[in-house]
Structure 1
Amino acid sequence: MTERSTSGAAAAEALPPPRAALSGTTWREIVHLLLNLPLGIFSFVCAVVWVFAAALLSVTVIGLPVLAAGLTGMRALGRWERGRARVLLGLRIEEPSPLSRAGGAGFFPWLWRTLSDPVGWRSALFAVIRLPWGVLTFAITLVSLFVLWPLLPWLARLLTQVDRVMVRGLLSPSDGLERRIAQLRTDKETVTDTASGDLRRIERDLHDGAQARLVALAMDLGLAKEKLTEDPEAAAKMVDEAHGEVKLALQELRDLARGIHPAILTDRGLAPALSALRARCTVPTTLHTEIPHRPAPAIEAIAYFTVSELLQNISKHSHATQADVELWRTKNRLLIQITDNGQGGATTHTGTGLKGLADRLNSVDGLLLIHSPPGGPTTITIELPWRDPQPTHTHTRTDNGSER
């Protein structure tokens, strides 16, 4: 009995100590590190073949399309790597914005958008540098599994921290840069569409209004000229009617010019221009302005046409009997608040007027807030960036004619 006990104790001493159990987080990090090598080889080969093919075909017309197609594939690779980091490393990174549709549909707009995509290029860089790092992490992790087991949790955490830094640095949105670029592209499209709509409106107003009236006026004057010798009284009557048509045509042209950019806004500023606008509103309106000096001309124009459109909406749809317009400056923002005691229910979800107005304000970093419960009253607040006008260089002339 004593000999058996002694031999059993000796055998127990000869066995290696039991390995400490690893947590689920550590096992996921180990799997991630072991996958770095095969995935690194795959992505590196794809990147090298793609760049080599694009370089060989650069002398042909398909060189750039191959380069763009490869960038699209690199973007997909980056999406896959973000998913792997999310599952195995618990690293949650927002997806970069998809490629914008700015520039329209078609092959060449797509080609330009893809070649200028920073997400695709950074994903390609990630694919290249991933291979040497994958070789290192695979070797260290494999050795640690059989030799350095007690140190494995700390080594796995250290190595995956480097992985996390690489994924954050190369595969995450650059502090919202891509989203800002996409937003700017959308704003550009909005401004372009608005400008095109305004040009079509001006063309329609000229064609259907002043132009048609001037054509009729020319025809009337031609008839009056023919009757001048035969029937002077009829010719004089026709000239008198033509004179009235001239006045109406001039009034239409003045209204059209005022709709493009009112002269009073350029000459005297926002407060006098809004005062003239208030006087033409069919709903009694009060105006309070507290702005120390004039903002940039572009901001003045946007504020003027915004108030003009909102007052027109009040006149047409609100059934209000009183409206108020207030303007003031807070730090670097111009604030406008318009209230009316109408029936309420104003929203950007129905119709296109307020929705288009909100889009136009958003394109210049502005904001439109609406509080309009059913039954009223309605309060609409507009925020615009206060941009001081650019300084202009003035020259004064001395008595001897020189400028200073």
Structure 2
Amino acid sequence: MKNGSIAILFDRLGPYHWARLQAAARFFRVVAVETCAITREYQWERVDEAPAFEKVTLFADGSDSCKFKRALLRKKMVNALGEVDPAVAMIPGWATPASLVALEWCLRNQRPAVVMSESNAFDVKRYALAELIKRIVVSLFSAGLAGGDLQKEYLVSLGLPRHRVFTGYDVVDNEYFATNAVHVRENQTAFRKELKLPEKYFLASARFVPKKNLRRLMEGYALYRSLVGPNHWKLVLLGDGPLRPELVTLRHKLELTSDILLPGFIQYRQLPAYYALAAAFVHASSTEQWGLVVNEAMAAGLPVIVSNRCGCVPDLVAEGKNGFTFDPASVKGLGKLMADMSRLSERRLEEMREESRHIVAGFTPAHFAKAAQRAIEVAKAAPICRATLFSSLLLKALIHR
């Protein structure tokens, strides 16, 4: 396929990736390379929309072959990229064997690689040796596409030249959420009845894993409940995961079984209704590279309360204008903000909704596509990256670790 195609790699193509790829395909020829068609981590349904891009899938499911059989992964990735023969490869990060194998292929075939990253300087504890290794790996990329300002600064700190790093990676299909939210609100009585949703509620959406900080979210909600009394909003918490039994037990212990609703994992086609009928959105993660659910909530027109450890905060949350931020370790701080939000007048809430829509309008699939195009052009113009013997051996070691 040589012909100037651009390979864009993802672990699994979900709705977020699909929207970005569709937008990118309007600007250049896209071949999506998907490592696994199905994974245990994300339970998304297959996207039915006809793709405007070509797609190659290495593994049909998320079996052990995806995670542990490096030789098979290498063979499939090398064969796929050899067949596609891209002019440039856009690679998601540097943490997975699939990404590193793709980078290795680019170096061997003298093709520029663009790193797509949502990492920031504080999303995990940093160690000097690990950062040194990372700098060596990042130096093998020709350009970068980052989520936002924090993510861009982190790539620059790892050695990528500032003029070769662009923002716009972390976007969702704003139009999908906005349009469907309008439809749901126009028919809200029927949707509330069908989905069994209360009149007023905070919405949260997350995998039930430790970093999502859902225990403190529930405890913060319990404090909020005690602060506002009988006119409280309920809490609807979407998602599933290994912590579900623990959270169900905590809900019972807090005597909030009727106030905290757990509908489970909600598919993409149903999500706009939950956003549309909510009064505000809360994201409590103790650490988060970005937080795409915040994009979704804002596209649907919600005011937000977001942990200050989320990488999206500098770009998406204007303090006091479309929402508030808080220390995710502070149950008291979260509970108080929820109380403050619920006491705002309808006029003030509407102003915050409008501000959310305005801010997130700068983070669309079209922005991703244009930023990707700029990164590709810069990567093509940059000197070809060449691996030293040491960096080649380092890549091999990281792939097989």
Please indicate the TM-score interval, normalised by the length of the shorter structure. Answer: under 0.3
Which of the pair is proportionally richer in helix? 1
Higher RCO (C-alpha 8 Å, min separation 6): 2
TM-score normalised per structure 1: 0.21
User: Greater Rg, structure 1 or structure 2?
Assistant: 1
With structure 2 as the length reference, what TM-score do the two structures score? 0.21
